[in-house]
Amino acid sequence: MDSNSHLESHQGGCHCGRIRYKFEAPKSVTAFKCNCSMCSKRGNISFSVPKHNFSLLSGESYITTYSFGTHTAKHTFCNVCGITSFNISRSNPHAVSINVNCVDPGTLTHVEILSFDGRNWERTHYLRTKMKEAQLRGDKDNSSNESSDQGYEVGSDVSNSLPQSH
């Protein structure tokens, strides 16, 4: 979709406002609820943008990095307010992971949230599909009752879109 791939300018930052950034991304994005031990405790929901579409406006000196385990993933946060507003991925150094909750309101018009718990992914996707079907049924009442009940399908491209930050 052209409207979906058109890049808009967005801004975001941490809670105290010391860390501020801007980035280019579509108005509609798909964000990922990561199930790693860190993100699940943090409730992190994020989406990636190419690094060249991201620029830090302020607060570089307040960014603190936390790592654990293999220390390959670097979890950054503001050392004043504690909020992880973005993350520079190490596994994919060309991408920046943006916390969807830290984007200034108004410019993102639609956010789809996908779960990445491997054990429960199919069930999550199944429920999501059912919700979409219910929405579609509500939108067009005169559907010819064509059965869309082909269950759910595990998209083969899902593993390609796994969050890169861990």
Burial of 39 (0-12, 13-18, 19+ CB in 10 A): buried
Q: Based on CB atoms, which residue is closest to Zn ion, 14 or 39?
A: 14
Q: Which residue is nearest to Zn ion (CB)?
A: 78
How far is Cα 109 from Cα 37, in angstroms, rounded to an integer? Answer: 29
β pairing state of 54-58 and 45-50: unpaired
Query: Which tokens sit at 141?
Result: 């009442």
CB atoms within 10 A of CB 10: 22
Decide: 33 and 42 in contact? Cβ < 8 Å.
Answer: no
Work out whether 102 is an interface residue with Zn ion (CB under 5 A): no
Q: Based on CB atoms, which residue is closest to Zn ion, 85 or 89?
A: 85
Binding residue for Zn ion (CB under 5 A) from 29, 39, 73, 78?
78
Binding residue for Zn ion (CB under 5 A) from 10, 12, 18, 108?
18
How far is Cα 87 from Cα 65, in angstroms, rounded to an integer? Answer: 9
Binding residue for Zn ion (CB under 5 A) from 56, 81, 111, 113?
81
Q: Based on CB atoms, which residue is closest to Zn ion, 15 or 123?
A: 15
Binding residue for Zn ion (CB under 5 A) from 16, 127, 136, 158?
16
| Residue in 3, 1, 30 with CA at minimum distance from that of residue 97 | 30
Q: How many residues bind Zn ion (CB under 5 A)?
A: 6
Residues 6+ apart with CB under 8 A from 155: 125
Binding residue for Zn ion (CB under 5 A) from 10, 14, 45, 165?
14
Work out whether 80 is an interface residue with Zn ion (CB under 5 A): yes
Work out whether 25 is an interface residue with Zn ion (CB under 5 A): no
Interface ranges with Zn ion (CB under 5 A): 14, 16, 18, 78, 80-81
